[in-house]
Structure 1
Amino acid sequence: MDTKTDEYYRQERREVEALIPEDAVKILDVGCGEGILGRILLEKGVREVTGIEVNPAACAVARKNLTGVICGDIEEMELDFDEGYFDCIILADILEHLKDPLSGLKKLRRHLSASGTVVASIPNVRYWGIINMLTEGHWKYQDHGILDKTHLRFFTRKEIQTLFEGAGFKIKDTGANIDPRYYKLEDISSGELSFGRVSLKGLTTEEVQDLFVVQYLIRAANVRQTPGQQSPHVPDKIDAGKTEKRKIAIVRGANLNKWEMQNYEPLAERFDITAYTTTQTCFDISRIGLPVVKLPFQSQGLLLHMQGLEEQLADKDLVFSADITYQFSAQAVEAKKRYGCKVVCLEWENIPFNYEEYEAVRSIKKTVREGSDHFIAVTERAKEALIIEGVPAERIDVIPMGIDLGRFRPVEKDVEKDRERTGLTKEDLVVLFIGRMVWEKGVYDFVHAAAGILCDNSMNGFPVRFVMVGKGPELQGLRERATSLGISGRITFIEEYPYHDMHKLHNIADVFVLPSISTKTWQEQFGMVLIESMACGKPVISTLSGSIPEVVGDAGILVQPDDHFSLRDAMKKLIKDNDLRKYLGDNALKRAQSEFDSQKTAEKVRAVFEKVMSRKTEYDVTGRT
């Protein structure tokens, strides 16, 4: 008897949606419920979604949402579709309800294209709560969850793999819905775990995580594989005599962006590079010149867990992750332990022991510090922070970020037109800020300093205009502050501006300002906008915050952070002195060309990659070179 509530059949299942290939046009959703997920897919441009549903009431609703619905039990029916008809088959919370899931998978496989994909979600019976229940002598069925009273079959991760291999599939990605308590564990790397009357020792980090997985999310490809073949999770051996490109993974979580990737795109001629991000990204990645894979994820921020990442890294020679504080960097180290890849970690953080008051972050940082083969620090301060935390200096190279100097360069052509498009005239003396509209970027200091200049009678002869570009939580407050100060007519806010046109903004400016302020957990880690402006030959004003002095050098004026009076005086000095602007602008251009060329950065990164891949470590897999 079906005891499910109506809400059970109305789930969107966004985590399942994230696994569906973007090029799928014909999809079969087994156990479609009321067709909510299928409706979302159709709205996104999928041509056809056919549903199968055993509940008659849910079927009636699904017919309004999908292109077709079959009402009945998948194990009792023969499908009237051509072989290979569907591009993708969805089995969200289905296999555990079948009497014979292996036969069910084989039946469905006949109607999946040769390059098709199966997406499935399956409960994990190895979950710590189930083990704890067993030690207390119970096996309590429930209305929902892992021990749903309608479940006929139970799976562990290994049994899921066996099931799919037996049906002729190769698992490509394994994600998970994880119990939030996992992220509160004090030391994941200790190999010990206790709950109730259970005490476990000698666990790998993978096994610890597995005990907190509530449900696995599977993406499998339609390929034939006999039991004697190699497991899909073990990397193929690499023949040293072959000349294939080494495989590099760049892992950046939700923070993948074009301005960093321009430093690695030149390496694509030498290496086979793939960038990994999440299904929801913080930045526009449409113009990144590298293959990009989007993975579903759990949690946010530092604890962001990229589902199935370790398996994606199985065939990689080197993983280039970012920052020791991120969970996905610990996942890279786990992939190293499983598959023998090398791990290089890029480090921006310049505050030693930052966020280590949180147990989960402290454990992640320890894992990454000890498990990474090498580190690339973007500044000397980032290197010093690593050394203070215990990383040997010989495992760190300092390589600053670079930019495309072919794009970021002084240009006079079309500057007048670009100014007009921004509401400026050729006579205006433009002071520019670009960055996130957050307090720590000193955005209120910028507005207050602008007001100080515009209200100064001695500055009346200078046609100064202020431009602020960016978005963030303080944007509306800044607009209101400018209005209350009576300067809204002399300050322009631009919320959106594409990165591929950012050089045009820098070239319309006369002075660039980045008035960053340090906080307990953040100080300016580099300042990409500074080197972009410098490469366009602009004098810069910034603050003595974090790594800014390393970047600016003698190319600008640095003032105390959180001090709009000093900032105002520095602005006035450059506004009034054309010769000083030219002198500092020339120095800025020379420094950018010498220190911040993305081509030079790429070559330095290449040298580190090859140095690291030439080493042998305890995790090397036989056959890797």
Structure 2
Amino acid sequence: MSVKRRVAFVVNGTPGSPMGSRAQAFARELEGALDITLLYRQPRKVRAIGEMVAALRSSRPEAVYVFDLAYSGVVASALHTLGTRCPWVVDTGDAIFALARSVGGRGPAGLLLTAALEQFGLRAANAVVVRGTFHQKLLAGQCLASTVIQDGVHVDAFRPRPAEELRRRLGLEGVLTVGILGSSIWSDRLRVCVGWELVELIRTMKGRPVKGVLIGDGSGVPVLRERCRSYGIEDQMVFIDRVPYESLPEYLGLMDVTLSTQSNDVVGQVRTTGKLPLYMAAGRYILATDVGEASLVLPEAMRVPYQGVVDPAYPVRLAERVEGLLARPEQLKSAESLVGVARERFDYPVLARRVLEVLERV
């Protein structure tokens, strides 16, 4: 029996974070081919660097795969390679400098450090993995090669399932439900958060047989709740706290229509977003901005034009699409075809094979 190659998965996040889930999924798929050690970042990010370096020296990997372009994992992996010449891969889903500049909250020094981290990570790593096709094109323009391995999903775990009892308990019977899943963090600079477009959509459709559902937590939720009160649409919006990952398939079944919104700039264009594969695997009808990976995998009827970073006219365009679905609800059945697309493009067994190919090249 051949000896498995030792690989360390360095996760810039906790076991329960999105990157933790991605790393665990790949580790399960590749356990027969690789001897994988999972290393997670601890809450104290600076201290985490030393802890990660010590763990890497102890596990003596023959390759390192870093999940997310964040300084704890990147610096620890770079330091480890100084004495060992161990090759390392960085996996990123964002143009992090553009994201930091857009969202705000960092001063000039912070932005400079973010730009330096991004350039160092992309150029020092032996291989780069990006999670969006347009990100690959962006880096190619900077003479940087990369491999696309999108955000993933366990398709069989998210197969469509009935949610009639849950709908009944939440007062969602007899209406078209439009929902969104995600952490809603308020941006003081942009004055928006995840779910802003859903609340504005429901405001536009006040009194119609439509209800909004937001699943998630974060600093933006109280802002959205207050907007609902001021708009007089509290009875048309349902807010649900974050639910366990294993419960998501049932809760996604609450949603007849799901929203996937990305800004039409570099920040949004490079993304797949982890929610898009989930919606597709669950067979949900999606209304997505015609930006990034969604523009490549969704049919035209599900793609909605979006302008700039924050498009105040977008909720009106969404309302036009939702009115069309109210008039012709049979269109919702077209979402069943998305399950097959998710299996082909985003299923973890498919993506894990690409991870193995990248590791075999370094």
TM range (shorter): 0.7 to 0.9
**Contact 1:557–1:570 (CA<8 Å) still a contact in 2?**
no
Q: Does 1:436 align with 2:183?
A: yes
Cα–Cα, structure 1 residues 527 and 367, in superposed 2: closer, same or farther, change >3 Å? closer
Q: Which residue of 1 aligns with 2:189?
A: none
How far did residue 580 of structure 1 move? 1.9
Q: Deviations over 1:570-591 (max 9, x none)?
A: 22222322222212x0332221
Matched, 1:417 2:144: no
The answer for the alignment partner of 1:399 in structure 2 is 149
**Hey, what's the Cα distance between the residues in 1 that align with 2:201 and 2:184?**
16
Quote the residue 1:572 is aligned against. 323
Gap change, CA 1:533 and 1:472, over 3 Å in 2? same
Q: Which of these residues, 309, 313, 317, is aligned with residue 52 of structure 2?
A: 309
Matched, 1:348 2:66: no
Aligned pairs (5 A) from 1:185-584: 243-254=2-13, 256-257=17-18, 258-261=20-23, 262-280=25-43, 296-298=44-46, 306-314=49-57, 315-324=60-69, 326-350=71-95, 358-391=111-144, 393=145, 396-412=146-162, 415-425=163-173, 427-438=174-185, 441-455=193-207, 459=208, 463-517=209-263, 525-552=271-298, 554=300, 556-560=302-306, 562=311, 563-583=314-334
Partners of 1:551 and 1:351 lie apart in 2 by 24
Identity percentage of aligned residues: 21
Letter in 1 for 2:198: F
The answer on whether the counterparts of 1:246 and 1:271 sit within 8 Å (CA) in structure 2 is: yes
TM-score by length of 2: 0.83
Q: Quick check: 1:591 aligned with 2:341?
A: yes
Give yes or no for contact 2:92–2:130 (8 Å, CA) kept in 1. yes
Asked whether the equivalents of residues 353 and 389 of structure 1 are also in contact (C-alpha less than 8 Å), the reply is no
Name the structure where strand makes up a greater proportion of residues. 1
Which protein is bigger by CA-based radius of gyration?
A: 1
* Larger RCO: 1 or 2 (CA < 8 Å, sep 6+): 2
What TM-score does the superposition give when structure 1 sets the normalisation length? Answer: 0.50
Change in Cα spacing, 1:409 to 1:496, as seen in structure 2 (3 Å) is same
**Residue ranges of structure 1 left out of the alignment (5+ in a row):** 1-241, 281-295, 300-304, 613-625
Specify the SS of the correspondent of 1:313.
Answer: helix
Q: CA deviation at 1:402?
A: 2.0
Counterpart code for 1:597: D
Verify the 8 A CA contact 1:442 1:517 in the aligned structure 2. Answer: no
Shift of 1:399: 1.8
Q: 1:524 to 1:438 in 2, by over 3 A?
A: farther
Once residues 355 and 515 of structure 1 are traced to their aligned partners in structure 2, the CA distance between those partners, rounded to angstroms, is 18
On the 8 A contact 1:430/1:509 being kept in 2, the answer is yes
CA separation of 1:551/1:350 partners in 2, compared to 1, >3 Å: closer, same or farther?
farther
Q: Distance in 1 between matches of 2:229 and 2:296?
A: 36
The answer to whether the Cα contact below 8 Å between 1:554 and 1:587 also exists between their aligned partners in 2 is no
Q: Could you say what secondary structure the match of 1:307 adopts?
A: helix
**What are the ranges of 5 or more consecutive residues in structure 2 without an aligned counterpart?**
102-107, 187-191
Deviation of residue 469 (structure 1)? 0.8
1:551 to 1:472, Cα distance in 2 relative to 1, 3 A: farther
RMSD of equivalent CA atoms: 2.7
